[in-house]
Amino acid sequence: MSTPAGAGAPEAPDGLGGLVGLFREIGDLKRVHVAGRPGSIADHAFLRAWSALVAGEDPTAVADAECAAAVAGARLAGLDATVLRDAGLPADEARAVRTRAIDEVGAPLPDDLRKRLTAAPDPTEDTGSAPAFAATLVDQPRAGATAPGRARLIVEPPEDHGEHCWAVAVYGALLAGAVDADPGEAFLLGLAHHLHNVAMPDAGFAGEILLGEHLGPMLERLTEHELESLPTALAKRVRALLGARADADTPLGRAFHAADVLDRVLQVHHHARAAAFVARDALVDLELVHVSPVSAYHDAVLTTAGLL
């Protein structure tokens, strides 16, 4: 862990303790897949968001739509609006399902934010292709935990940069109000903060230290190369926001750095939980064999088989 912050360090956003459970569930969308879609739900949302932005959609509108989908998706997983409508639900009933999910899992969010998410439209699925760099970031694994002079800690499967950037974008937008930041800017910065990793495989903190004085200029050159592929107005806006990564002295910097560190640590907690998983967690805590008209028979089968 880093050393404790000094007395002059910016205050952390209020209410983080209540939000950690929600962020953990949102982050698990990195590990949920749907047939017919390459990558995870998080990957799909990352590509979809960049497609909408390149097509000219307003970043705040994209942030609201994607955050609403992420909060609802924490419980509904792949049961999004498209799936529900294809299954025969009218648009208003599909929206009611999404609202129930947002109200349930989003209870720790401020009331005004939860209402805004409930009113947000569903993400646009047909805006066109995402920029090439977004697809590469989905294909680019993250290094995980590394430290100078120490062997790499390997965890499987690794997350990709698209998943991480999506999570930081969503968490940042959801935290923006608590630090007086703009949610659209926090979302856009989260999506874009690893553009350098399109061409630069991730060696983690240990590798960055070995690059020494070359690191800063290299990151700037690689980031600028990807920005040049964006529409001029969008590139200008992203370029202006990237400076907020330098510190936590601005509202945007506080929203971004809170989101970034939370996602990095929650990712490690996920691997720790997975390694410690036992059957009781599913059978008892999550009621894998849940109450139903045939519960007694299920229990008899499992007891006879020695599995209960």
Amino acid at position 44, single letter: H
d(Cα 21, Cα 43) in Å, to the nearest integer?
21
Contact 67, 170 (CB under 8 A): yes
State mean pLDDT over 44-56.
Answer: 97
State mean pLDDT over 205-223.
Answer: 95
Residues 60-94 pLDDT 10s: 999 999 999 999 999 999 999 999 999 999 999 99
Question: What pTM does this model have?
Answer: 0.90
State mean pLDDT over 132-154.
Answer: 91
State mean pLDDT over 92-100.
Answer: 97
Ordered alpha helix ranges (H), the chain = 16-27, 41-54, 59-76, 81-86, 91-105, 111-119, 132-139, 161-175, 183-192, 204-211, 215-227, 232-242, 251-276, 279-280, 295-304
Residues 164-202 pLDDT 10s: 999 999 999 999 999 999 999 999 999 999 999 999 999
Give me the pLDDT at residue 108, please.
Answer: 95
Question: Does the pLDDT of residue 302 top 80, yes or no?
Answer: no
Quickly state the pLDDT bin for 7 (edges 50, 70, 90).
low
Give me the pLDDT at residue 172, please.
Answer: 97
Give me the pLDDT at residue 60, please.
Answer: 97
Domain locations in the chain? 16-142+153-277, 279-308
Residue with tokens 């498209």: 82
3-state secondary structure labels for all residues of 88-154:
CCCHHHHHHHHHHHHHHHCCCCCHHHHHHHHHCCCCCCCCCCCCHHHHHHHHCECCCCCCCCCCCCC
Give me the pLDDT at residue 3, please.
Answer: 46
State mean pLDDT over 7-18.
Answer: 80
Classify 15 in phi/psi space as left (phi over 0), alpha (psi -120 to 50) or beta: left
Contact 70, 29 (CB under 8 A): yes
Residues 114-125 pLDDT 10s: 999 999 999 988
Give me the pLDDT at residue 5, please.
Answer: 47
